Chains A and B, each alone.
Chain A
C-alpha cells in the first residue's frame, strides 16, 4: 500500500509538469499564434475574436489557471475549424487506436515468445543467431518503410489483404504488423536473455535431475519466472506504441488519435494539437504508473526497494 501511495504521489508532479508544458506549447509559437492559425491576411476583427476565444488576450497566469481548471474537468477546448469539443473528437477516435495497439501487442507477443524461447533453448546455435538477426533488423527497420513494403507485397502483388480503411480483422493485420515489429524484436531479445538466465538457475537443474521432461521444465518452470521482466517491459512499451501509432495511422489512413493529431497540425488547429498531445502523454504516464504498481504487486522485492 505504501509503495502504491509513493508511486501515486510521484506521478502527481510529473502530471502537473506535462500539463504545464502542453499549456506553454501555444506560447512557443514564434510571432503571433493567431496570425499563424488564421493567416496573415485575416481581418483584425477575426483576429481579436480568436484571441478572445482562445483566451490569449488575458494575462498568462489567468490563462494557465483557467486551462488547469478546464483540463481537470475534462474540457480540452474546441477545435477551430469545426467548433467541436476536442475531448469528444479524441474519444471518437480512441477505439481505432486501441484496436491498433491491441493488434500490435498481439503481433509482438505472438512473434517474440516463440522466437525468444527457441533462441534460449538453442543458445549459441543457428536458431539463436536467426532470432538475433530478426531482433537487430526489427529494431532498425523504420515502420514508415515496413508499412509500405507490406502493402506492396500483401496488398498490391498478392492481393491477399486489404489496405486503408478500418474494417474487419483482415484490415488490422498489416497496420498491426507494422506497429508491432520493433516491439517484437525488443521482446524476443528480452525473452531470450531472461530465459537463458533462468535456465542456468539451480532449481531448473534440480527439476531436470528429478527426471522431469525438458519441455515441461522450459515451459512451466523456467518460462513462468522468465516472464516477469518481459511483462513489465511489454507494459511500459504500451505507451511507446501509442506514439508509434501516429506514423502507422498516417501510413494506413487509420482513423485514430495519431491521425487526428496530424490533421490538427496540418490545419493549424492548435487546441486540437494540444488536446491530442496532452491525451497521449497523460495516457503514457498512467500506463507506466499502472505497470509499476502491477509489477510491485507481483514482485515483492520491488515494493520493498
Chain B
C-alpha cells in the first residue's frame, strides 16, 4: 500500500471509528435522554450541562447526535446489505449465464439508472409512506443496480480464465461454480463499492429525513435535526452546525475508506503510485 493510500486508510478508519463507537454505545455515552424535552432550555447554546446545546424543544443535541449515529448506521448497513445481496446475485447470474437472463437483468438496471440521484427513492417513499423501513426499501431498490453492473463486469472477466474452464471441464455445476469459484474472486471491487455505497446511503437517508420523508417526527435522525435547525438558523445556528458536521465526517470517512481500498486492491495503481506521492 502506498503512503498516500495508508494515510487515507488511517483517516478513513479514524472517522469510521468516531462514527461506529457512538452508534454502538449511544445509551452509555449520551449524557441525556435524546427524547427528553425541556422547553425552558429551548435553543440554549453549548454549555457545561449540554456540551452541544439544546434544540427547539430543549432536547440535548449531543445525545440526539449519538443516537442519530445509530439510525445512520442501521439504515446505511441495512440498505447496502440488501443492495449488495440482490446486486451480487443478479450480477453473478447475468454474467455467468448470459443470454436472455443477462439482457433482461441489465435492461432493468438501465431503466432504474435512468432516474437520477435521489429521484426514485423520493418517488418510492412518496408512495410507500415515510419511515425508516421504507427508506431502506427505497434505497435498496436503486442501490442493487451498481453492485449488479460491477459484479457482471467482473464475472465476464473471470469466467474466461483457465481455472474456470478447467472446473467446467471437470463437470462443476453452475451453482457451485458461481458460489465457490467465481464469487470469491469478484469480492474485492464489491468491498470498495460497499464502502462508497454506505456513504451514499447515509447521505440519502439524511436527505430524505431532511425533506420530511425519512425518519418519523421526533426521531433523532441527523437529516431531521438539520431540517429542524433550518427554521431557527438566525437565533440558534448550533442546532444546524453539529448534525451537518457529523454527516460530512461520516460520508468523508467512508469515501476515504473506499478510496484506500480501491488503491489497495488495484494492482495497476499499486505499481504506478510513486512512494510518498
Q: Which A residues contact B (CB, under 8 angstroms)?
A: 13-15, 17-18, 21-22, 25-26, 28-30, 124, 136-137, 139-142, 144-145, 148-149, 151-152, 156, 239-240, 242-244, 246-247, 250-251, 261-262, 264-266, 270, 273, 277, 280-281, 284-285
Question: Given the complex, which residues of A lie within 8 Å of B129, measured CB to CB?
Answer: 30
Question: Given the complex, which residues of B lie within 8 Å of A26, measured CB to CB?
Answer: 127
Identify which of B57-65, B148-156, B159-167, B208-216 touches chain A.
B208-216
8 Å CB contact of B207 from A14, A140, A247: A247
- Bound CA span A278–B183, Å: 37
Q: How far does the Cβ of A216 sit from chain B's closest Cβ, in whole Å? A: 28
Q: Chain B residue with minimal CB distance to A242? A: B116
Taking A136-B255, A148-B230 as contacts, is the C-beta distance between A14 and B111 under 8 angstroms?
Answer: yes
Q: Indicate if B233 sits at the interface (CB-CB under 8 A).
A: yes
Identify which of B43-51, B81-89, B118-126, B173-181 touches chain A.
B118-126
Question: Given the complex, which residues of A lie within 8 Å of B267, measured CB to CB?
Answer: none
8 Å CB contact of A140 from B110, B112, B252: B252
Question: Given the complex, which residues of A lie within 8 Å of B207, measured CB to CB?
Answer: 142, 144, 247
Contact A246 B114 (CB under 8 A): no
Among A145, A151, A284, max chain B CB count under 10 A is at A145
Q: Chain A residue with minimal CB distance to B254? A: A140
- Bound CA span A223–B119, Å: 34
Taking A145-B247, A266-B212 as contacts, is the C-beta distance between A29 and B116 under 8 angstroms?
Answer: no
Q: CB-CB contacts of B118-149 with A at 8 A, as 1s and 0s?
A: 11101110111100000000000000000000
Question: Given the complex, which residues of A lie within 8 Å of B234, measured CB to CB?
Answer: 152, 156
What's the A-B contact tally at a CB cutoff of 8 Å?
Answer: 128
Which 9 A-B pairs give the minimum distances between C-beta atoms?
A: A17-B111, A145-B244, A243-B117, A243-B116, A140-B252, A140-B251, A265-B126, A284-B116, A144-B210
- Bound CA span A264–B127, Å: 11
Contact B211 A262 (CB under 8 A): yes
Besides A141-B248, A152-B237, A243-B117, 11 other A-B contacts (C-beta < 8 A):
A21-B111, A25-B123, A28-B128, A139-B255, A140-B248, A149-B244, A246-B118, A247-B210, A265-B126, A277-B115, A285-B114
Question: Given the complex, which residues of B lie within 8 Å of A140, measured CB to CB?
Answer: 199, 248, 251-252, 255
- Bound CA span A251–B256, Å: 28
Q: Indicate if B91 sits at the interface (CB-CB under 8 A).
A: no
Contact A265 B213 (CB under 8 A): yes
Q: How far does the Cβ of A181 sit from chain B's closest Cβ, in whole Å? A: 12
Question: Given the complex, which residues of B lie within 8 Å of A22, measured CB to CB?
Answer: 123
Contact B114 A148 (CB under 8 A): no
Question: Given the complex, which residues of A lie within 8 Å of B248, measured CB to CB?
Answer: 137, 140-142, 145
Question: Given the complex, which residues of A lie within 8 Å of B112, measured CB to CB?
Answer: 21
Among B122, B206, B251, B252, max chain A CB count under 10 A is at B122
Q: Chain B residue with minimal CB distance to A282? A: B114
Question: Given the complex, which residues of B lie within 8 Å of A141, measured CB to CB?
Answer: 248
Q: Indicate if B76 sits at the interface (CB-CB under 8 A).
A: no
Question: Given the complex, which residues of A lie within 8 Å of B119, measured CB to CB?
Answer: 243, 246, 277, 280-281, 284
SS class of chain A's interface: helix, strand, loop or mixed?
A: helix
Chain B positions 100-114 with a Cβ under 8 Å from a chain A Cβ? 107-108, 110-112, 114
Q: Indicate if B272 sits at the interface (CB-CB under 8 A).
A: no
Question: Given the complex, which residues of B lie within 8 Å of A265, measured CB to CB?
Answer: 122, 126, 213
8 Å CB contact of B114 from A17, A25, A144: A17
Contact B114 A281 (CB under 8 A): yes
Question: Given the complex, which residues of B lie within 8 Å of A243, measured CB to CB?
Answer: 115-119
Question: Given the complex, which residues of A lie within 8 Å of B256, measured CB to CB?
Answer: 136
Q: Indicate if B79 sits at the interface (CB-CB under 8 A).
A: no
Chain B positions 217-246 with a Cβ under 8 Å from a chain A Cβ? 223, 226-227, 229-230, 233-234, 237, 240-241, 243-244
8 Å CB contact of B115 from A29, A246, A270, A284: A284
Question: Given the complex, which residues of B lie within 8 Å of A156, measured CB to CB?
Answer: 233-234
Contact B240 A273 (CB under 8 A): no
Taking A142-B248, A144-B206, A145-B248 as contacts, is the C-beta distance between A239 and B116 under 8 angstroms?
Answer: yes
- Bound CA span A136–B15, Å: 14
- Bound CA span A247–B208, Å: 9
Contact B210 A137 (CB under 8 A): no
Taking A140-B251, A156-B234, A251-B230 as contacts, is the C-beta distance between A17 and B110 under 8 angstroms?
Answer: yes
Q: How far does the Cβ of B127 sit from chain A's closest Cβ, in whole Å? A: 5
Among A124, A140, A251, A284, max chain B CB count under 10 A is at A140
Q: CB-CB contacts of B164-204 with A at 8 A, as 1s and 0s?
A: 00000000000000000000000000000000000100010
Q: Chain B residue with minimal CB distance to A147? A: B230
Q: Chain B residue with minimal CB distance to A241? A: B116
Contact B233 A151 (CB under 8 A): yes
Contact B111 A142 (CB under 8 A): no
8 Å CB contact of B233 from A148, A239, A244: A148
- Bound CA span A140–B252, Å: 5
